[in-house]
Amino acid sequence: MALVIREADVKSLMNMQDAVTWVEEALRAHGQGKARNVPRSRVKLPKATLHVLPAADLEQGVVGLKFYTTPKGGERFLVVLFSAEDGRLLCLLEADYMGVMRTGAASGVATKYMATADADVLALFGTGKQARGQLLAVAAVKKLKQVRVYSRDPDRRKQFAEGMEAQAGVEVVPKESAEEALDSALIVTTITSSREPLFPASAIQPGTHINAAGSNSLLRRELDEELVRGATVIAVDSRQQSKVESGDLLIPAERGWLDWDLLPELSEIVAGRQPGRLSPSDITIFDSHGLGLEDVAVAAHVYQRAKERGLGQEIDLLF
């Protein structure tokens, strides 16, 4: 019998520390050739878009996909898991909360491997739903002394800071400008829908690590092209996917400032096949778009916990 696992159960079965651990394991497996990932494909329609991300986690013995639609007024996320051994349907999992956790977790893993050891201040750009996961993930891998938050709406950034401080266990301070947020911050995370760079390259100090998580189409840009040009290590989650989705890297690539095929994938860094940084003064960037493998791996762990704890609804479907 397959399980249907609802949002409420997912929230009770995982937290951010779990997500970071599971995503790190999946990326290491991918870097070692023990997992498979297929870049996201999209079916664009006049009033909505269907997004599909297939993958297989061979260590957990599962294959599946996340798919979601983005109509006006909301998004709907679902993960489907099958057994990699016999093809049985294992579960259908509502994946809104899980998606926020795994998207943040990827930045957390990148921060763990690419930021300097003494980095303890985070500048966070964006205060939407995904920003919560980004903050929690960095706080899960670094002992932060402060988070500085900036977004265009002063009321939203104030509310975000007040709501996240107790949840993250760190001081969260809303800032009036990008420059104030960046002052002495050695970790920067951007999670916006901006079409133009959020700050000039000159605002970033040596030794900074940047998680660029908002630009997932060629129409969006969060990073100054000069910042990309000056970075020592630029990691992506998928070279193939970045070529068609990375607004931040398109212009530098077109100008010959970077070679797509030479960019390390985060899984290669986690597996020890590529360095996360070369020196403490390096500027490093993780250009994040999300892998179906991360969704499939996290969903597989949630599924196992649901079975152990008797959660979820059994259904006789494709039995």
Task: Say if residues 174 and 146 touch (Cβ distance below 8 Å).
Answer: no
CB atoms within 10 A of CB 27: 29
Cβ-contact 81, 299 below 8 angstroms: yes
> CA nearest 106: which of 58, 144, 62, 138?
138
The SS3 call for residue 8 is: helix
Catalytic residue among 47, 66, 72, 175: 66
**Residue for token pair 């893993």:** 109
E strand or H helix at 17, and its extent? Answer: helix 16-31
Q: Label the pairing between strands 76-83 and 62-69.
A: antiparallel
CA 18, CA 98: separation in Å to the nearest integer? 11
**One-character DSSP codes across 55-106:** EEETTTTEEEEEEEE--TT--EEEEEEEETTT--EEEEEE-HHHHHHHHHHH
CA atoms within 13 A on the CB side of 5: 33
Tell me how far apart the alpha carbons of residues 226 and 22 are, in angstroms, rounded to a whole number: 34
Residue 175 is among the residues annotated as catalytic for this protein: no
State in Å, rounded, how far the first CA of the chain is from the last one.
6
Q: Where are the alpha helices (DSSP H) in 198-245?
A: 225-230, 239-245
Residues 6+ apart with CB under 8 A from 179: 199, 203
Distance of alpha carbon 196 from alpha carbon 224, whole angstroms: 8
Task: Please list the active-site residues.
Answer: 66
